[in-house]
Amino acid sequence: MTTPTAPAERLHQVLERIRAAAAAAGREPPALLAVSKMQPTEAVAALAAAGQAAFGENYVQEGMAKRAALEATLPGLEWHLVGHLQSNKAAQAARTFDWVHSVDRPSVVTALARHRDPARPLNVLLQVNVEHEAGKSGCAPEAVEALAAQVAAEPALVLRGLMSIPVPHPDPEQRRPAFRRMKALFDGLAARYRTVDTLSMGMSDDFPVAIAEGATLVRIGTALFGPRPPRQSG
C-alpha cells in the first residue's frame, strides 16, 4: 500500500522545483498560485494550513462557495479566477475574486468594472491566445494594446499583466516559443504601465520552461493536489 503524500510535503516539493528552475535560469522565483478547481474545500484548507495563501479556481460558483466556507477559519486567503469568464457571471466574479486572469474582451472589462467597488480595485490579467489557436479563449496579441488601455482607464480595475495557456503538447519544450512571445508582449506592456508586474504562465507539466522564459506567477494544480476528482453533477 502506498501512503499518499501529505499536502505540506507536496507543497514543499513544488516550491523546491520552482526555486531550482528559477536559479538555473538566473531569475527570481515566481509566485505560486495553487489551482484548486474540482478539489474539495478540505484539500484547500490543508494546503492553506501548510502555508499556501493564493488559490485559483475555474468556475465562479465553485470559487464563491470555497471562499465562503473558508473565510471564518482561514482569513486572508487570496482568490484568483483562472477559468474562462462568461459575461453573465462577471458581476459575481467582480465581487468574489481578488484577481481575474481571463479577461479577454471589452464587454467583460466593462462588466467587471461596473460591479467592483473602486475602493477595492480588482487585479486584472489579460488572457492572450498567443498562438492564434482557433476556438480558444484569449484575445489576439494584436488586441492587447486596446484592451490594456480600456482596463487602465477603469478606477475599479488594476492592470497587472498577462496570462496565457499555450497549446497542449506532450513535450513542454515545444511550448517555449509561445512563452517567449508572451514575455516580449509583457515587457512591452510593462514599459508603458507602471502597474504591470505579473506574467502568469506555466502549469504542472511545463512550469520549469515557463519560469526560464520569465513567468512571475505559475498556476499549479495536479502537482500540488494530485489528480482532480471527476466533476460532480449539479
Ligand X SMILES: *Cc1c(COP(=O)(O)O)cnc(C)c1O
Look at residues 89, 118, 99 and name the one whose alpha carbon lies nearest to residue 219: 99
For ligand X, give the closer residue by CB, 154 or 200. Answer: 200
CB of 54 to ligand X, least distance (A): 13
CB of 33 to ligand X, least distance (A): 8
For ligand X, give the closer residue by CB, 110 or 137. Answer: 137
Among 165, 182, 196, 199, binds ligand X (CB under 6 A): 165
Strands (E), the chain: 31-35, 54-57, 78-81, 99-103, 122-127, 157-163, 198-200, 217-220
CB of 65 to ligand X, least distance (A): 17
Binding span for ligand X by CB under 6 A among 46-54, 103-111, 130-138, 200-208: 200-208
Look at residues 24, 56, 53, 51 and name the one whose alpha carbon lies nearest to residue 39: 56
Among 8, 158, 204, 226, binds ligand X (CB under 6 A): 204
Residue 66 touching ligand X (CB under 6 A): no
Among 37, 89, 116, 183, binds ligand X (CB under 6 A): 37
Distance separating alpha carbons of residues 174 and 205, to the nearest angstrom: 12
Residue 160 touching ligand X (CB under 6 A): no
CB of 13 to ligand X, least distance (A): 14
**Is 19 in a helix, a strand, or coil?**
helix
Residues 37, 62: contact at Cβ < 8 Å? yes
For ligand X, give the closer residue by CB, 133 or 145. Answer: 133
Q: Rounded to the nearest 5 degrees, what angle is found at the Cα of 226, between the Cα atoms of 207 and 103?
A: 50
For ligand X, give the closer residue by CB, 144 or 165. Answer: 165
Of 76-95, binders to ligand X (CB under 6 A) are 82-83
Which residues, 6+ apart, have CB-to-CB distance to 137 below 8 Å?
84, 102, 104, 127, 129, 165
Distance separating alpha carbons of residues 1 and 131, to the nearest angstrom: 44
Q: Looking at residue 49, what DSSP letter applies?
A: H
For ligand X, give the closer residue by CB, 144 or 163. Answer: 163
Which residues, 6+ apart, have CB-to-CB distance to 203 below 8 Å?
35, 165, 210, 218, 219, 220, 221
- Determine the residue with CB nearest ligand X: 221
Of 92-121, binders to ligand X (CB under 6 A) are none
What's at 2, amino acid-wise? T
CB of 142 to ligand X, least distance (A): 22
Of 125-154, binders to ligand X (CB under 6 A) are none
Binding site for ligand X (CB under 6 A): 35, 37, 58, 82-83, 165, 203-205, 219-223
